[in-house]
Structure 1
Amino acid sequence: MNNFSCFDNLEACIFDLDGTLLDSMDIWQEVDRKYLASYGIEFDETFSEEIKRLTFNESAKYFIEKFKIPRTEEEIMEDWNQLVEVEYRDNVQLKPGVKEFLSYLASRDIKMCIATACNKTHALMALERLEILPYFTFVRTCKEVGKNKEHPDIFLRCSDEMDAKVENTMIFEDLLMALEIAKKEGFRTCGIHDVLSSHESEDIAKICDLFIYDFHELKVI
């Protein structure tokens, strides 16, 4: 059951991007499908499950090691950037209720930032086009921090940069592993339903203070 008291004395919120604020995870699955097909490799949905927790660089390394792609990490990342740039710049949309909820947090002077494994250029393109970039103090990426979300570093750095206590900071995420890490560090947590992580929804709901299917559910706070 959702515990809305977790919003009491809330100082800051840290938002994941893909699958949390943006309805974008299917874009990356399609990129994986097309890229592997160009090398005659059949796509398996378990690939997306394995790499969604990795940084951009780690995902490129994974493709080289697992599929023997004859490209360097830098070349693979550039290939991917070209495939997805137009989607972030022109097409990807917010999940339902996002803008209203961000406006609500801003009205309460709650600090907000983004912690993402996404390419920063792509993230900024989408956030600016969708007119929500001004809500965030900054956008921090796993690449900048040097650790993926199997580690708490990006969350701890974000809370530190916002000068917010961990226990008064809430993490919004669609990834079970990241939510488990955040919970262990003492953050408040809100799990977000996403199609690609729906198989983890039951486990996410069990460990989080809140679990929502879309941000309209938070109108009750």
Structure 2
Amino acid sequence: MGKVKACLFDLDGVIVDTAKYHYIAWKELANNMGFDFTLEDNERLKGVSRMTSLDILLSIGNIEKSEEEKLALATLKNEKYLSYILKMGPEEILPGTRDFLELLKKEGIKIALGSASKNAMTILERLELTPYFEAIIDGTKVSKAKPDPEVFLKGAEALGVAPMDCVVFEDAEAGVDAALAGGMKCVGIGKEDVLGKAHLVVEGLHKMDMQKLSSLNN
């Protein structure tokens, strides 16, 4: 790898914690159908698409629905979720994120977002972080879910940087696999036992600095 020229960030769990809002929205949906949805159940939905998440939810409740009903339920869940994220503000940015983005800007390192979320633009605007990103690749621009590297490869392409000169920041195992499949270096945000395949694992962006980033060149 040459010098790090670009950093690509996943959104949920790296820049902001929107997972809690997804969970509340899914739980409300389950409760409305007459069954409970626990935090443990919610672990099964991590990094999974909306429709697959709904299938898991329905299987937990032992409920059968037609494709048409499923689409209506998925839409309802998204509307609930959106009502929560529209109330978000910059105070919900995870610790150290803005400082690290500032540092990258100062160093001339390009920044892109690579997220499966179709609401990524809305969230970045609510957090007042949009100006930091030169490219935003979200769920509206990709057809393949992680661990397929499509979202990160499109991000690198949009920035005009070779994959080998990119570092991806991810909190999910599927995301780490996607970064590696795309030929990129990866920093795992979270726990070593889950993200051990990443080149470096840190607790959060507040633990990142240029020295750690540069160490990925080796």
Band the TM-score falls in, shorter-chain normalisation: 0.7 to 0.9
- Equivalent residue, structure 1, for 2:116: 117
- Equivalent residue, structure 2, for 1:209: 199
Following superposition, the deviation at residue 21 of structure 1 comes to 0.5
Q: Deviations over 1:80-104 (max 9, x none)?
A: 2221223222226111010010011
- Equivalent residue, structure 1, for 2:64: 68
Q: Deviations over 1:46-66 (max 9, x none)?
A: 543332222334434555676
Gaps of 5+ in 1: 1-5
- Equivalent residue, structure 1, for 2:3: 9
Alignment of 1:50 with 2:44, yes or no, is yes
Q: Which of 18, 42, 46 is residue 24 of structure 1 equivalent to?
A: 18
Following superposition, the deviation at residue 152 of structure 1 comes to 1.3
Q: RMSD of the TM alignment (CA)?
A: 2.3
User: What one-letter code is carried by the residue in structure 1 that aligns with 2:86?
Assistant: R
- Equivalent residue, structure 1, for 2:106: 107
Secondary structure of the 2:209 match is helix
| Inter-CA distance 173–9: structure 2 relative to 1 (3 Å threshold) | same
Question: Which segment drifts farther, 125-134 or 64-73?
Answer: 64-73
Following superposition, the deviation at residue 75 of structure 1 comes to 1.6
Inter-partner Cα distance in structure 2 for 1:186 and 1:129: 32
- Equivalent residue, structure 2, for 1:3: none
Following superposition, the deviation at residue 165 of structure 1 comes to 1.0
Q: Which of 36, 45, 52 is residue 30 of structure 2 equivalent to?
A: 36
TM norm structure 1: 0.82
Inter-partner Cα distance in structure 1 for 2:70 and 2:87: 26
Q: Deviations over 1:186-218 (max 9, x none)?
A: 21101112xxxx5xx4231x3222211122211
- Equivalent residue, structure 1, for 2:166: 169
Inter-partner Cα distance in structure 2 for 1:142 and 1:151: 13
- Equivalent residue, structure 1, for 2:185: 188
Aligned-pair identity (%)? 22
Inter-partner Cα distance in structure 2 for 1:43 and 1:63: 8
Following superposition, the deviation at residue 167 of structure 1 comes to 1.0
Q: Deviations over 1:134-162 (max 9, x none)?
A: 11123212342111113111111211221
| Inter-CA distance 184–82: structure 2 relative to 1 (3 Å threshold) | closer
The answer to whether the Cα contact below 8 Å between 1:56 and 1:117 also exists between their aligned partners in 2 is no
The answer to whether the Cα contact below 8 Å between 1:56 and 1:77 also exists between their aligned partners in 2 is yes
Secondary structure of the 2:13 match is coil
Gaps of 5+ in 2: 212-218
The answer to whether the Cα contact below 8 Å between 1:64 and 1:73 also exists between their aligned partners in 2 is no
Inter-partner Cα distance in structure 2 for 1:138 and 1:207: 26
Q: Deviations over 1:88-141 (max 9, x none)?
A: 222261110100100111111211111112223xx2222122221011123212
TM norm structure 2: 0.83
The answer to whether the Cα contact below 8 Å between 1:55 and 1:147 also exists between their aligned partners in 2 is no
Higher helix share: 1
The answer to whether the Cα contact below 8 Å between 1:190 and 1:211 also exists between their aligned partners in 2 is yes
Aligned length: 206
